[in-house]
Structure 1
Amino acid sequence: MIDLDSIVAIDMHTHAEISRDGHRSLPPSLMDGSAAYFRVAGERTPSIDDLAAYYRERRMAAVVFTVDAETATGHPPVPSEEVAEECARHADVLIPFASVDPHKGAEAVREARRLANTPGVRGFKFHPSLQAFHPNDRAAYPVYEVLQEHGMVALFHSGQTGIGAGLPGGGGIRLRYSNPLDLDDVAADFPDLPIVIAHPSFPWQDEALAVAQHKPTVHIDLSGWSPKYFPPQLVRYANTLLKDKVLFGSDYPVLTPDRWLADFDALDIKPEVRPRILKDNAARLLGLVKDA
């Protein structure tokens, strides 16, 4: 139901941070720590209604998701079913992704199948550091099989994370799980699974670029960092070899699209590449428009 002609951009990376009954997506220490890390000035937990109004006002569409990391954190997620239901009321601007906890084994597979058949859901979000798993762990492969079978997009956090940053022991979160090179195995073993490597992948930017260049189904979203901090090789590849595989993402609400786009305007990106990054590449990946 998204009218591509009426929007200026598709934000591939926003978070459903609170449920209808007020349950937050992260434990209080991690939620407060990430707000401090990102210096969030506004509302840290907007509702999905708020998120829809925010993006509608800006003539943008947005992908929305939560993360099921219950095994690793002991904290139940915002339900993916609820995210899909709430986004369905705003289908002109919101695109729901689901999430499952890979540690839940057969239950995760059943849940992935149910969610993949939920109207409106176009992909799944994984956060390897928060969920405490390596993406190429064969235990997660049955979940990917379901996603590939149903044409879902698999979006993986990569690199350093603001969740746990600055807390004692990093809140117990380990960065090593989010090396994007792990996704090379996933892309090789699931060649029909569209994959998005989320964020500039510090300190593994070159690994992310290599995987995206080598594997046809792998994309990179640019969320979580202001573009003024992008490493030069990321800008160079976005302008050239990966111009059809790089995607706008903000990380709202911890980083606003207003801030991201203002800094993107100053970035040395070719005029003909800008609309691809801001809208066209995501529209094609999400099946909103067919390849010519």
Structure 2
Amino acid sequence: MLKPGRRWRGGAVDLEELVAIDVHTHAEVSADGHPSLNPELLAASASHFGAHGHRQPTIAEMAAYYRERRMAAVVFTVDAEHATGHPRIANEEIAASCAEHADVLIPFASVDPWKGLAGVREARRLVERHGVRGFKFHPSIQGFAPDDRMAYPLYEAIEELGVPALFHTGQTGIGAGVPGGGGIRLKYSNPMLVDDVAADFPELRIVLAHPSFPWQDEALAVATHKPYVHIDLSGWSPKYFPPQLVRYANSLVKDKVLFGSDYPLITPDRWLADFEKLEIKPEVRPRILKHNAAKLLGLTTREEHP
């Protein structure tokens, strides 16, 4: 087990060869064709993003896609079995598939916090035996408030394992336009709910995923106040980023902002083309595209100690 603050060795990823690290991509379909979520919810998300008819690539296809672009990608699914009743894609499958493409793919897992101590045991097993490098939470889909003490044993385990926890924040395309939003409650994805987590687990590395509409200021407040809270920029084209996000990315959180696309719904090609036009300082661009993520994920030539 890794001690708090210790980072994973970089594995087969060659940082010198990479132009970027995409910290937010989705495995939407298993090897046998099982979708990650209810097809109606996935279709609503595709419609929300204008990604009509987009394919659900296999993990092997994702690896080829990112390898061609000289990028690495963090890959995960969402375990929301408690709230949705839909069986997840197995974390072990994602980890094993990423291990076959370790030069470009970095496996994260998703454990439904409603699984209690069984989820805690699973999280430990996934890191210690399957090489998982972090965990994804989607509070709105999983139906829990991030500051609910029910989830604290899972956070404690993740903190002890020394890997990051990535939380969806802001509005979601999942369920958008479906009557009642498919039962998905947006309030659970207010980034201020993660502030308690950052305060109560001070060594836990946290990523607030997405520009957090309509709570962008809250996300920036948490990221500037808590030293181990980061922001990924996935799920939006950079041309739609609110001005305060761009301003802070250039200054107060320049070492804590991460490139993420939300592939396959948003491609890194589209994201990077729009990012190129954004008024980001030249010295900050490589931090956002690669160096901040490399530090967070411990993709160095040696283990870093506290």
The TM tier, using the shorter chain, reads over 0.9
Secondary structure of 1:98's aligned partner: coil
Query: Take 1:218 and 1:150, find their aligned partners in 2: how far apart are those partners?
Result: 17
Residue 273 of structure 2 corresponds to residue 262 of structure 1: yes
Q: Distance in 2 between matches of 1:13 and 1:163?
A: 16
Which of 172, 176, 184 is the matching residue for 1:165?
176
SS in 1 for 2:262: coil
Cα separation, 1, equivalents of 2:199 and 2:158:
15
Please list the CA deviations of residues 154-186 of structure 1 after superposition, one character each: whole Å capped at 9, or x if unmatched: 000000001011111111101000000011100
Q: Which residue of 1 aligns with 2:103?
A: 92
CA–CA separation in structure 1 for the residues paired with 2:212 and 2:292? 19
Structure 2 match to 1:17: 28
Shift of the alpha carbon at 1:42? Answer: 5.7
Q: Is the 8 A contact 1:123 1:153 kept in 2?
A: yes
| Alpha-carbon distance between aligned partners in 2 of 1:232 and 1:120, rounded to the nearest angstrom | 38
Pick one of 193, 207, 229 that aligns with 2:204: 193
Q: Taking CA–CA contacts closer than 8 Å with sequence separation of 6 or more, which of the two structures ends up with the larger relative contact order?
A: 2
Q: Any gaps of 5 or more consecutive residues in structure 2? A: 1-11
User: In the alignment, is the contact (CA less than 8 A) between 2:211 and 2:234 conserved in 1?
Assistant: yes
- Asked if 1:36 is matched to 2:47, the reply is yes
CA distance in 2 between partners of 1:249 and 1:178 (Å): 18
TM-score w.r.t. structure 2 length?
0.93
Deviation at 1:118, TM superposition (A): 3.1
Runs (4+) of structure 1 moved beyond 2 Å? 41-44, 289-292
Spell out, residue by residue over 1:220-245, the C-alpha distance to the aligned partner (whole angstroms, 9 max, x if none): 00000000000000000000000000
The answer on 1:102 being equivalent to 2:113 is yes
Match of 2:158 in 1: 147
The answer on whether the counterparts of 1:95 and 1:120 sit within 8 Å (CA) in structure 2 is: no
Distance in 2, matches of 1:2 and 1:119, equals 17
1:6 is aligned to 17
- Matched residues, number: 292
Aligned positions of 1:54-65 closer than 5 A = 54-65=65-76
The one-letter code matched in structure 2 to 1:6 is: E
Partners of 1:7 and 1:59 within 8 A in 2? yes
Report the Cα distance in structure 1 between the residues aligned to 2:282 and 2:130, rounded to whole angstroms. Answer: 36
Partner of 2:231, secondary structure, is strand
**What is the SS of the residue equivalent to 2:204?**
coil
Deviation at 1:120, TM superposition (A): 2.8
The percent of aligned pairs where both chains have the same amino acid is 73
Identify the residue that residue 128 of structure 2 maps to in structure 1: 117
Q: Measure how far apart 1:110 and its partner are.
A: 1.3
User: 1:253: which partner in 2?
Assistant: 264
| Aligned residue number for residue 4 of structure 2 | none
Task: Answer yes or no: is the 8 Å Cα contact 1:219–1:245 preserved in 2.
Answer: yes
Report the aligned-residue RMSD: 1.2
**TM-score, structure 1 as length reference:** 0.98
Matched with 2:219 is: 208
- SS of the residue corresponding to residue 254 of structure 2 reads coil
- Deviation at 1:276? 0.1
Aligned mate of 2:288, from 269, 277, 282: 277
How far did residue 44 of structure 1 move?
A: 3.2
In 2, are the aligned partners of 1:44 and 1:254 still within 8 Å (CA)? no
* Corresponding residue number in structure 2 for 1:221: 232
Distance 2:113 2:142 in 1: 8
Q: Distance in 1 between matches of 2:236 and 2:263?
A: 11
1:52 to 2:63 alignment: yes
What SS is found at the alignment partner of 1:17?
coil
CA offsets per residue over residues 192-235 of structure 1, 9 Å max, x none? 11000000000000000000000000000000000000000000
Question: What secondary structure sits across from 1:111 in the alignment?
Answer: helix
- Aligned equivalents of 2:31 and 2:291: distance in 1? 32
Give the equivalent residue in structure 1 for 2:192. Answer: 181
Q: Is the 8 A contact 2:234 2:262 kept in 1?
A: yes
